[in-house]
C-alpha cells in the first residue's frame, strides 16, 4: 500500500514489513519510472522512489534495499558523473552484496556483464527493454543469489561476517 496516490509515481513510499522484497527506484523520467514501478510491483516488491540525490542517499543509508534501479541520466548526469553511481562505492561491502544494483539507460545494452562491471553495478537494462524489466530482473536476481549465497555462507563459516 502506498502512502500517496498510486498514480503519483514521483513520491512512492510503500510501508516495509520484515521479509518484504524492497526496491528503490531512482528514475526521474515519469514514463520510465511508471514502467519500472509496474514491473517491480508485479514481482511483489515494495517500492520507494526518489528524485533528489540527498533523499536517495538518506534512503540508501537507512535501508538495505533488495533492488536499486538507477537512471543512467539521473538529474541530467552521465554514467561518469551520476552522483548515485559514485556514492555506491561508499556502501559497505556486506550491505552491497545483498543488493542488486541496476542501471537503466539508452547507452547500455541489456544484460551486458562487461558494462555492468565497468559501472560497478549488477545489471544494465536498455531503455528499449524496460517493459521487460521483470523478466530480466528475475533472471539477474537468481544469478546473483546463486553467486553470492555460497560466498556469504563461506564468509560466515570463516567468522568474517
Which three cell numbers mark 51?
A: 528524485
Mean pLDDT of the chain: 88
The whole-number pLDDT of residue 10 equals: 62
The whole-number pLDDT of residue 4 equals: 40
> Structurally, how many domains does the chain consist of?
1
pLDDT tens by residue, 83-137: 998 888 788 888 888 899 999 999 999 999 999 999 999 999 999 999 999 999 9
Is 1 within the bounds of a domain?
A: no
Is 52 within the bounds of a domain?
A: yes
Domain of 152, in residue numbers: 9-157
Residues of the chain with pLDDT > 90, as a percent, come to 53
- Using the predicted structure, report yes or no on whether residue 9 has a pLDDT greater than 70: no
The whole-number pLDDT of residue 26 equals: 94
The CATH code of the domain that includes 35 is 3.40.50.2300
Is 2 within the bounds of a domain?
A: no
Is 3 within the bounds of a domain?
A: no
Amino acid at each position: 500500500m502506498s502512502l500517496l496516490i498510486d498514480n503519483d509515481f514521483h513520491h512512492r513510499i510503500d510501508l516495509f514489513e520484515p521479509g518484504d522484497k524492497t526496491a528503490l527506484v531512482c528514475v526521474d523520467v515519469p514514463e520510465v519510472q511508471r514502467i519500472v514501478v509496474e514491473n517491480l510491483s508485479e514481482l511483489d516488491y515494495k517500492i520507494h522512489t526518489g528524485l533528489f540525490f540527498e533523499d536517495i542517499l538518506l534512503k540508501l543509508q537507512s535501508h538495505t534495499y533488495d533492488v536499486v534501479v538507477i537512471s543512467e541520466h539521473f538529474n541530467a548526469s552521465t554514467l561518469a558523473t551520476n552522483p548515485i553511481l559514485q556514492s555506491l562505492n561508499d556502501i559497505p561491502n556486506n550491505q552491497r552484496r545483498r543488493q542488486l544494483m541496476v542501471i537503466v539507460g539508452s547507452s547500455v545494452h541489456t544484460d551486458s556483464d562487461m558494462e555492468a562491471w565497468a559501472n560497478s553495478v549488477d545489471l544494465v537494462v536498455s531503455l528499449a527493454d524496460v517493459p521487460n524489466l521483470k523478466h530480466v530482473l528475475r533472471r539477474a536476481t537468481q544469478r546473483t543469489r546463486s553467486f553470492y549465497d555460497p560466498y556469504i555462507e563461506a564468509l560466515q563459516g570463516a567468522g568474517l561476517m
